[in-house]
Structure 1
Amino acid sequence: MGIQEAIGVSYEALIVIIKITFPTLAITAAVGLVMTIFQSVTNINESTLQQDLKIFGTLLILFITAPAIYIALRDYTLVIFERIAMLQ
C-alpha cells in the first residue's frame, strides 16, 4: 500500500464520517438557533429548555437516519475488507 492509496482510504473515511454526522449536526444547530431566537424574543432565560430540545432533536434524527448510517458503515467496511484481502 502506497502513500496515495493511504490518502485515498483516509479521504473516503472522512467523506463517510461527514455523510453520517451532517444531518445530526444540522438539526442540532437549527434547534439551537431557533431556541436562541425564541429565548431572546421572549426573555426566557432557561438554559435547560434549549438543552432538552437539542437532546430530543438529536435522538430523533439518529433514530430516523439509523438505517442510512448502518448502510454507509457496512458498505465502507466491506470495501476496506476487500482492500485488505487484496494485499495478501
Structure 2
Amino acid sequence: MGTSRPERQTPLARTAYIAALRRFAHAHTALLLHGVPLDPGTRIREWTRADVAVLRELHESLGQVLETRRAWDRLRHDRSPQH
C-alpha cells in the first residue's frame, strides 16, 4: 500500500481484495460463456488463442485474489490490538 496513512491501508487493502474478487468472477464467467473445453471426453478440441487468453485471465485473476487477500490479512493482523 506504500505511502498512504496507516489507518487507510487496511480499507484500501480490502478494496483491492474486493476488486480482485470481481475480476476473478468476471474471468470465471468468461470461461463458462466462452466454452473452453476442459474435459477431454471423447471429442478433443484443440485450444484456440482465445481459449488460452480466457484461461490466462482466469489464472492471473486468481493469483491477484490470493495476493490481495494475503496483503489485507497481514495488515489486519499487524493492526490487531494483540500487537
Pairwise same-fold verdict (TM > 0.5): no
TM-score (norm 2): 0.41
TM-score (norm 1): 0.39
When Rg is computed on C-alpha atoms for both structures, the one with the higher figure is: 1
Q: Which has the higher contact order (CA 8 A, sep 6+)?
A: 2
